[in-house]
Amino acid sequence: MKTWAWRILLSAANVLMAAATSPQVFHGAFAYNPGFYFLVNSLDLVPRALVNLTFVHQMNHHLFWPKGYWIQSVFWEYLLLVFLFWWWVGSNIDRRISLRRSGPTWTWVEFTLALGLSLMLFFESRTGHSQALGLISTAWGIVLMGYSLLQLFRGIAILRSPAVTT
C-alpha cells in the first residue's frame, strides 16, 4: 500500500471514531459505550486538548447549519485536528520505516511542535477528567517530550555536520 494511502486510512478511521462518540451520529449507537468512548478519548487526547485550549476562537456552528440538523453539533475544528494529528503520526512512522531523514528545518519544526504539545498536556487542567484520562494525558506528554528531545538531538547533530541540506 502506498504510504499516503494508509495515512489517509489511519486519519479517517480516527475521525470516524471521534465522530461516532457524538450522540447525534448513528443515532447514538456508539456514544454510550464506555469502553469505546474511553478508547477514542485516549487516542485523540492531544487534538482534544488543543481544541480545548483554542475553544474561544472556534466558529459558531449555528451560523452555517439550520437548527435541528445533527451536523451542527459536530465540531469540525476538532475533527480536522484529529485528522492532521494522525496524519503527522503516520508520516513520522513512514519516514522511520523508509529510513529517510528530514531536513534541518523540518527537524526543528517537529521539535517545537512536539515540545509545545507535550507542555500543553503537562500543564492542562485536570478538572473534569477521570483519573485514567489524566494518566493517559501524562503518558502522551511523556511520549511527545521524548520525541521532542529526539528531534532536538537530531537537530543539533544536523547543525554540527559539515554538509547541511534543507
The DSSP result for 44-101, as a single string, is: THHHHHHHHHTGGGS--GGGTS-TT-GGGGS-HHHHHHHHHHHHHHHHHHHHHHTT--
Among 73, 98, 123, the domain boundary falls at 98
Clarify whether residues 120 and 52 are in a common domain.
no
Question: 3 and 65: one domain?
Answer: yes
pTM over 0.85, yes/no: no
Domain count of the fold of the chain: 2
Q: Are 87 and 12 contained in the same domain?
A: yes
Considering the domain architecture, whether residues 47 and 58 belong to the same structural domain is answered as yes
Residue 136's pLDDT band (cuts 50, 70, 90): confident
Note whether 37 and 26 are same-domain residues.
yes
> Do 105 and 87 belong to one domain?
no
Q: Are residues 37 and 50 in the same domain?
A: yes
- Of 21-25, 127-131, 158-162, the poorest mean pLDDT is in 127-131
Q: Are residues 28 and 1 part of one domain?
A: yes
Cα distance between residue 3 and residue 27, in whole Å: 34
Look at residues 72, 98, 124 and tell me which one is the last residue of a structural domain.
Answer: 98
Same domain, 80 and 17: yes
State the residue range of the domain holding 23.
1-98
- Same domain for 33 and 63, yes or no, is yes
pLDDT digits (tens, 9 = 90+) for 71-91: 444 577 778 888 988 888 888
Whether 139 and 94 map to the same domain: the answer is no
Last residue of a domain, one of 44, 70, 98: 98
Q: How confident is the model at residue 24 (pLDDT cuts 50, 70, 90)?
A: low
